[in-house]
Chains A and B, each alone.
Chain A
Amino acid sequence: MRKVIALGGAALMTALSMTSAPAAEAPASIQKDCAVCHQMSGPASPDLAVRQTRKGPPLFFAGNKFRRDWLEAWLQKPTRIRPAGDFAPDHAAKGPEGDAVEAASLSDHPAVDAPAAKQIADYLMTLTPNTALLAKEDYTPGRVSARIGAMDFVKFKGCSGCHKDTPKYGGFSGPELHTAWQRLQPPFIVSYIRDPAAWEPRTLMPNKHLNTAGIHKLANYLRTIGEKPEKAK
């Protein structure tokens, strides 16, 4: 399995090194390169087998999900967002104290140079099949104190079972959320919490049936913990 992942990673590295193709050919080649690990056209499959063999999150709604500036920067210097990979059971192993993430089974996302990152981000932002879902949301980012927000996130809503709200605290199976505000469009955060299965039928995120105020409170907490401090003027 590790060999397969390593080979996949190597193939992706090779593929991405070719992204300096002429601009006119960019979308086709980028789509092909990303498709090694990511679903590039929708809809998301309801098939459990597909979910179990997924190597990375779907990107066919990337333009509805990510902030463009974050995408461009991250592609040049990728960090791990999902501590246990895209499908945790594939990267967990039994240890003396219980299951633990098997770090050696995880492969890093390839980095690309600045021109390629711009080209890829430009392309991904064109993938917007779920604009109607975002249009249903009416969210004006607000504030919640870090203390109240953390209590809500951890104790009242149980999000920390799967997600980290600080680099050190929280579960491993979901994407870390301490940088979520930097990488995700606010209406996407709200829409995904409201109805995760509307985005991906086989999402591992439960629908907690929260009311709008409860959803906005969580989104505001992600803003509190994730917003980069304003640069000194």
Chain B
Amino acid sequence: MNKLFILAVFLCGSILYPRPAPAADAAQGKTLYRVYCTQCHGLSGDGKGINAPQLSVQPRNHRDRAEMSARTDDDLFKAIKEGGQAVNKSILMPNWDGNMTDAEIHDVVAYLRALCCAGAK
């Protein structure tokens, strides 16, 4: 009976106070960035990854505060999820929707913000 009561309270609580979406995790974003992004954007995010010399359009320098401040989180999310073309940029930036979940892409965006503008390494 007690268990039922606790469950009922929990369910009511969930309805009345829905849990907010979990905050993006910049630390997890850093790991994802290393796996998927550094090959072009560089180990330090300076846009000089190992593939960069062969690219006709140079990858964005994610440490450039002015450039990165000009983009909203939604812009960054869209560019990562749907690729460069979706935000009128290069096709060389692929769409990563088949590799990362939306939550993971939000984590990457959180890391980008830390990288460009909060001195993350």
Residues in chain A near residue B99, CB distance under 8 A? 196-197, 202-204, 206-207
Is B51 within 8 A of A172, CB to CB? Answer: yes
Give the contact-size bracket for chain B: 20 to 34
Contact of A98 among B34, B49, B83, B90 (CB under 8 A): B49
A-B contact pairs, 11 of them (CB 8 A): A94-B44, A97-B48, A101-B50, A156-B91, A158-B92, A158-B94, A160-B54, A171-B55, A203-B99, A206-B83, A206-B96
Q: Which residues of A contact B44 (CB under 8 A)?
A: 94
Contacts of A122 in B (CB 8 A): none
Which of these, B43, B50, B95, contacts A209 with CB under 8 Å? B95
A125, CB-defined interface residue at 8 Å: no
Q: Does B102 contact A (CB under 8 A)?
A: no
B43–A206 touching, CB < 8 Å: no
Q: How far is the CB of B25 from chain A (nearest CB, A)?
A: 12
Give residues 2-51 of B contacting A (CB, 8 Å).
31-32, 34-36, 38-40, 42-44, 46, 48-51
Contacting residues, chain B, for A48 (C-beta < 8 A)? 31-32, 35
Do the beta carbons of B98 and A207 come within 8 Å of each other?
Answer: yes
The answer to whether residues A206 and B48 also contact, given A89-B38, A156-B91, A169-B54 and a CB cut-off of 8 A, is no
Q: Which residues does chain A contribute within 8 Å of B50, judged by CB atoms?
A: 84, 88, 92, 99-101, 171-173
Residue numbers in B under 8 Å from A156 (CB-CB): 91
| A203: chain B residues within 8 A (beta carbon) | 99
Q: How far is the CB of B81 from chain A (nearest CB, A)?
A: 11
Q: Tally chain A residues at the interface, Cβ within 8 Å.
A: 36
Does B97 belong to the interface (CB within 8 Å)?
yes
Q: Check if A51 sits within 8 Å of B35, measured CB to CB.
A: yes
Q: Could you say which residues of chain A place their CB within 8 Å of the CB of B36?
A: 204
> Counting CB contacts under 8 A, is B68 at the interface?
no
Please judge, given known A-B contacts A48-B31, A48-B32, A206-B96, whether A161 and B54 are in contact too, CB under 8 Å: yes
Q: Do residues A89 and B35 form an inter-chain contact, with CB atoms below 8 A? A: yes
For the complex, would chain B's binding face be called helix, strand, loop or mixed by DSSP majority? loop
Give chain A residues whose Cβ lies under 8 Å from the Cβ of B40: 161-162, 171, 173
Query: Would you give the shortest CB distance from B94 to chain A, in whole angstroms?
Result: 4
Whether A80 is near chain B, meaning CB under 8 Å from some CB there, is no
Q: Does A195 reach chain B (CB closer than 8 Å)?
A: yes
Measured in the bound complex, the distance between the Cα atoms of B69 and A21 in whole Å is: 62
CA of A101 to CA of B38, assembled, Å:
12
Chain A 170-203 interface residues, beta-carbon cutoff 8 Å to B: 170-173, 195-197, 202-203
Q: Decide if B114 is an interface residue (CB 8 Å cutoff).
A: no
Q: Is the CB of A171 within 8 A of B51?
A: yes
Q: Which single member of A92, A161, A206, A207 contacts B55 (CB below 8 Å)?
A: A161
> Which residues of A, 206-231, contact B by the 8 Å Cβ criterion?
206-209
Q: Mark A147-179, 1 if CB is under 8 A from B, else 0.
A: 000000001111011100000011111000000
**In the bound complex, how far is the Cα of B43 from the Cα of A155, in angstroms?**
25
Report the separation of the CA atoms of residues A196 and B99 in the bound assembly, to the nearest whole angstrom: 9
Interface residues of B in 98-113 (CB under 8 A from A): 98-99
B43 partner, pick from A92, A171, A208, beta carbons under 8 A:
A92
Residues of B within 8 A of A209 (CB): 95, 98
